Amino acid sequence: MTERPLTDDEAWAAVLRRDRAFDGQFVTGVLSTGIYCRPSCAARHPRRENVRFFATPAEAEAASLRPCKRCSPKDVARDERAVLAAIAAIKAAEEPPALAELAEAAGYSPTHFQRVFTRHTGLSPAAYARALREERARAALSDEGTVTDAIYAAGYSAPSRFYDETKGRLGMTASAWANGGKGATIHWAVVDTTLGRMLVAATDKGVCRLSFDEGEEALRARFPKADLVEGGEEFAALLGQVVASVEAPANGFAHIPLDVKGTAFQEACWKALREIPAGETRTYAQIAAAAGNPKAVRAAGSANARNNVAVLIPCHRVIRTGGDLGGYAYGLDIKRELLRREEAGD
């Protein structure tokens, strides 16, 4: 998925929003003061006629501009190197490194490094380490002979550490993951909505599937060894909330629990999607940046495509840089109508 360069109008809009997602993608030159800044700089906005945009700090300095002391735009590259080094250290360590240790290696204070790391990845170093180990655990649970072997293969020092860290987040039990969902109970229903027939399925943790024009056969193909139960009293209450949120998406749906799984980057992308206000859209490049890797535009598109819970993880709010709606798994008519309802406040 190739994104064209930002136009000056798009860059200026990012500056007016002080959008951190664009830090590192360009710098803002202020010709009247002779400085250049990050798009997110907290300083007072200059007049538009005094602004020129540059792709890199080097280009700005070649135009005789100097870096802003308030936002330190040249540190963006340093921050990125520090975060990448920390990620490598976390991946290589048997036990997650302490925040102080990671910060010292980067040359930052622990508090500042925590902010830098979170801004780039969407997760704190500790949360990133947990997500990485959970991701390894899911892979190992599919490959190892026993659950215990899988837990140790994922880097946990003991089974108790695995259960303590993943309680409430994995949704299905470790044994269920190892056996393709065997032992997990998923309640489901297909209901009529103004957008068409909608499939909703949920574990006891939350919604694990929301799609249009699918039924039991598609759900069984996705969870072949789970115990699929149509309906249910408790599920009916959740289903009512889901239908109401789909019919009126502008009212929000953060209160609806989800049970979704992905890589650390995919989950960061899904988190970024849920943070887009109703009535607004973002590009794939903006989602990649918000998820901590501005260059991973194609991977952000893949995370969008792997979203199992339509509407509640609002991938319909992602458009192409030029403003084109792009694609949608359930058709552009549904995407267009969801966006219309959100913009209208319906």
Please report the DSSP string for 40-75 in residue order.
T--SPPPPGGGEEEESSHHHHHHTT-EE-TTT-TTH
User: Maximum CA pair distance of the chain?
Assistant: 69
**Do 128 and 117 meet the contact criterion of CB atoms below 8 Å apart?**
yes
Taking the C-alpha atoms of residue 24 and residue 107, their distance in angstroms, rounded to an integer, is 20
Taking the C-alpha atoms of residue 133 and residue 91, their distance in angstroms, rounded to an integer, is 9
37, 41, 71, 269: the active-site residue: 37
Chain centroid to CA 257: 16
Is 37 in the active site?
Answer: yes
Position of tokens 């139960």?
229
Closest CA to 246 of 312, 333, 318: 312
Tell me which H or E stretch contains 143. Answer: helix 125-143
Is 208 in the active site?
Answer: no
- Give the chain's end-to-end CA distance (angstroms, integer): 32
CA dihedral 277, 281, 286, 289 (to 10 degrees): 20
Taking the C-alpha atoms of residue 311 and residue 288, their distance in angstroms, rounded to an integer, is 19
Chain centroid to CA 245: 20
Residues with a known catalytic role: 37, 315
